[in-house]
Structure 1
């Protein structure tokens, strides 16, 4: 977790020192005559639309497994409840609550809304509090956060499958995320910070869930939980 915090700090320092990188990256996909050229590309729109329902599908399936404890008795290989609950809570806390609070607090205008790309808003670096956006703002990217959240499903898999899952889903999640930059919907830093912040949130939450795994599993599986005296014996 310390490394994740250091990485977040390093990214913050980097973009504070070179805020122009955001304008450069967005400018690669913008044309003065046609705006953001790929924003109406059917393939990229399909990629965007594929990402949007995924959180609801994942949460629905995991909730079914959580409220059906008898599935564990059938030896179907259902992951432990604390692992299922970790993913559900992360989706709600990270891409849900934290992202929306940050959007409201920072108030950063999206690339397509600022003067440099045909809008009227003023460009502001990441973390700078501004009044350039009232709702559904740019910093940080909600869809990039949701795409990152797919990586947390790795805790549900056997160890032998985790590396390949992270590689394959990591590439897909990166495509979902960077697609928002191509559309002019987010700055590059919105995506980078989304992944950095979500990494910290995931590690903190997983540490807590792991520490309380026995109690959580006992609660959902209706098993007798050990007393404090037994736990320390």
Structure 2
């Protein structure tokens, strides 16, 4: 009896991959509803930390400035991940890095390059041109406030939406991208903590609005989901071709993602 990919995997897809996508879509819709009904929420939150005359006191706080300098640390983490991915398999003896760790490093590299480096800084920021809180007239700047997803003034440094600092924290959800659902949930939680701290510091400084931080999570989460989906489809296609080439009996089971044949892949769905 032929066991097809869809018949064997649809229930599991509904429990894991589809559920994760539904969570992402639900989060986006909730944000759209929240800021659609309360468009001045960004101004309200930033106003809590504004002291008047264009001054956000948190800019001078040592611990906030230390968090602001985090990208320097993040760059070294990315460099370390690159070295582990490229050289880890060639290290001698017990120092050799396993394939699983190299794949985690690859996931982090891809998310940092495509999500933070390209989508956040080169696409979203350049398209929206949203002024930062300290650039708006409400907080002593020269530009009018631009609501979430609105198109701002054409200025060189109006790049508030979305937050690059927060994205640098949310990118750690990629570390669990190849893992099972529980692993992915755990690393999403860690990423939310890191992104929340980094994004919160930028809100305190008047460098970003609340929506800038929350939507940076959306960008990175979507990037990780798409990369994982592409990898799963490619892996299933390769296993399918391999299974078909090895068919030698009358009973054919080319279900490349069948749990009995590929438990490691099925657990990750």
Q: Do the structures match in fold with TM over 0.5?
A: yes
Instruction: Give the distance between the partners of 1:72 and 1:94, measured in 2 at CA.
Output: 33
Instruction: Give the distance between the partners of 2:85 and 2:183, measured in 1 at CA.
Output: 22
Partner of 2:104 in structure 1?
Answer: 83
The verdict on how the C-alpha distance between 1:109 and 1:162 changes in structure 2, with shifts beyond 3 A counting, is: closer
Instruction: Give 1:208's match in structure 2, choosing from 207, 230, 241.
Output: 230
**Residues 122 and 132, structure 1, Cα contact 8 Å, conserved in 2:** no
1:11 aligns with 2:55: no
1:147 aligns with 2:169: yes
**Residues 8 and 197, structure 1, Cα contact 8 Å, conserved in 2:** no
Instruction: Give 1:52's match in structure 2, choosing from 71, 83, 104.
Output: 71
**Residues 104 and 176, structure 2, Cα contact 8 Å, conserved in 1:** no
Partner of 2:245 in structure 1?
Answer: 229
Range moving further from structure 2, 185-194 or 77-86: 77-86
Deviation at 1:138, TM superposition (A): 0.3
Partner of 1:180 in structure 2?
Answer: 202
Q: Which runs of 4+ in 1 moved over 4 A?
A: 71-76, 155-169, 213-216, 225-228, 230-233
TM score, norm. by length of structure 1: 0.81
Range moving further from structure 2, 205-214 or 186-195: 205-214
State the structure with more CA Rg. Answer: 2
Deviation at 1:202, TM superposition (A): 1.2
Range moving further from structure 2, 194-203 or 19-28: 194-203
Q: C-alpha deviations, 1:147-177, integer Å up to 9, x for none?
A: 1012322347899987766555542331111
Instruction: Give the distance between the partners of 1:209 and 1:199, measured in 2 at CA.
Output: 15
CA RMSD of superposed structures (Å)? 3.2
Partner of 2:139 in structure 1?
Answer: 117
**Residues 55 and 91, structure 1, Cα contact 8 Å, conserved in 2:** no
Partner of 1:222 in structure 2?
Answer: none
**Residues 65 and 78, structure 1, Cα contact 8 Å, conserved in 2:** no
Deviation at 1:81, TM superposition (A): 4.3
Deviation at 1:137, TM superposition (A): 0.7
**Residues 175 and 187, structure 2, Cα contact 8 Å, conserved in 1:** no
Helix, strand or coil: the match of 1:185?
coil
Partner of 2:17 in structure 1?
Answer: none
**Residues 58 and 205, structure 2, Cα contact 8 Å, conserved in 1:** yes
Helix, strand or coil: the match of 1:145?
helix
The verdict on how the C-alpha distance between 1:86 and 1:73 changes in structure 2, with shifts beyond 3 A counting, is: farther
TM score, norm. by length of structure 2: 0.71
**Residues 103 and 135, structure 1, Cα contact 8 Å, conserved in 2:** no
1:37 aligns with 2:57: yes
Instruction: Give the distance between the partners of 1:106 and 1:126, measured in 2 at CA.
Output: 9
Structure 2 residue runs of 5 or longer lacking an equivalent are: 1-20, 248-253, 256-269
